[in-house]
Chain A
């Protein structure tokens, strides 16, 4: 039986990808940020998953205004890193897991979540920056001459894109309940697979208007506290509070509730009856300001 054993949460700032790709990780501006992911890279090696279910958002890359799916699951065999206007990132192509992805799509749709199924999709920094932060070379390895990007990602990845570009984005509540449905879907997959679920984006940031550059450290850290201890309560937070307190692009944080909803301690059966497991263990927590325009938050929770 497949099992979700951990969740990982991280911001996916494009400038982090650029810093990695241009060899700037040792610069004083970037060094404290990358130092916060050293533990995570070792943790990935010690807790290697068979599949990563990676929740992220597309930034006007695969989806223009022609089509705006609220929830899109990637069921392809592979996904190419996108050219976002300055050439594709020099990172490996993403190998999918079509069998598990199709199983999850079928289960979750039958569970009343109407996903869009995507069989061809380029993936942008929203997906590749978290992979780089978790699976790229460590700082000592880079200092010794290693490339930041590995030759291949350590395991297959199922991309799961959420619309957070055009308002209204899905509610926190909907995201949390979708996470619970994804857990049920993985639980019903026969092969013995160790699955990690990642929630990415955020934390506080605003990229537009005279209010650009907004950062709210206190709000971000309260969000992290509540995500760990009371995700169901957090899921009731209205959109407007994200916008007002964490900036217009801080709304990306609703995606973290999908990954958190898939953890054992908040599991429910299809009838909504609680089947709660143990509270997760916080293996790692990190917060840093700034990366370009953005506050960076990072958590690793073990089931």
Chain B
């Protein structure tokens, strides 16, 4: 990382900004995703995901992120959500299902949050506040309650 570049967005909780550094790291992961815009590639991928991924010079971490459909892991490995959305489209998932999957909430919990006006910015502007997107409050929803024994 070049320290001369200003990156004021690193202190936003629960958020990866897709900058030049992430883009370099995720180049092949994102280009793999792009290949899924062709129907014949979607068919080949679905027939043998591992074999299809092995055709790409991706890191093992990136491949595992895809195989487990862990989009947070893919983002950390340089993925961009608009590219990762091609995996969701291949799986028949909506953008809401994909976005929700990154919070730990169930599909219904996430949909209900959106219907109630979405996630508040309160406590979620800076790392170290106490909003629901902060690291110490993950995973969210029922999954989080089970984790802490509150359910």
By a beta-carbon cutoff of 8 Å, the part of chain A in contact with chain B is: 14-15, 18, 59-61, 64-66, 83-86, 165-168, 204, 206-217, 219, 238-240, 243-245, 248-249, 289-290, 292-293, 295
| A207 touches which of B81, B115, B126 (Cβ 8 Å) | B81
B6-18 CB contact bits vs A (8 Å, 1 = yes)? 0011001111111
Check if A84 sits within 8 Å of B114, measured CB to CB. Answer: no
A18 vs B96: C-alpha distance when bound (angstroms): 13
A244 vs B134: C-alpha distance when bound (angstroms): 13
- What are 24 residue pairs bridging A and B, where the CB atoms are less than 8 Å apart in the complex? A14-B95, A59-B85, A65-B27, A66-B31, A84-B37, A85-B36, A165-B80, A166-B80, A167-B19, A206-B99, A206-B119, A208-B99, A209-B72, A210-B14, A212-B100, A212-B119, A214-B118, A214-B119, A217-B117, A238-B8, A289-B117, A289-B118, A293-B99, A293-B118
Q: How far is the CB of A67 from chain B (nearest CB, A)?
A: 12
Check if A165 sits within 8 Å of B95, measured CB to CB. Answer: no
> Knowing A14-B95, A15-B96, A212-B99 touch, does A64 contact B30 (C-beta < 8 A)?
yes
Chain A binding surface, main DSSP class? loop
> Knowing A64-B30, A167-B17, A215-B118 touch, does A210 contact B96 (C-beta < 8 A)?
no
Q: Which of B52-60, B61-69, B102-110 contacts A (4 or more CB under 8 A)?
A: B102-110
A292 vs B17: C-alpha distance when bound (angstroms): 21
Check if B119 sits within 8 Å of A84, measured CB to CB. Answer: no
| B121 touches which of A14, A65, A214, A240 (Cβ 8 Å) | A214
A211 vs B14: C-alpha distance when bound (angstroms): 5
Assess whether B77 is interfacial by the CB under 8 Å rule: no
Assess whether B113 is interfacial by the CB under 8 Å rule: yes
Among the interface residues A166, A207, A211, A293, which one has the most CB atoms of the partner chain B within 10 A? A211
Check if B82 sits within 8 Å of A214, measured CB to CB. Answer: no
A210 vs B31: C-alpha distance when bound (angstroms): 24
In the complex, besides A208-B15, A209-B102, 6 extra interface pairs with C-beta distance below 8 angstroms are: A60-B80, A61-B37, A85-B89, A166-B20, A209-B14, A210-B102
CB neighbours (8 Å) of B75 from chain A are 208-209
A245 vs B140: C-alpha distance when bound (angstroms): 21
Check if B27 sits within 8 Å of A60, measured CB to CB. Answer: no
CB neighbours (8 Å) of A85 from chain B are 36-37, 42, 85-86, 89-90
CB neighbours (8 Å) of B9 from chain A are 167, 239-240, 243
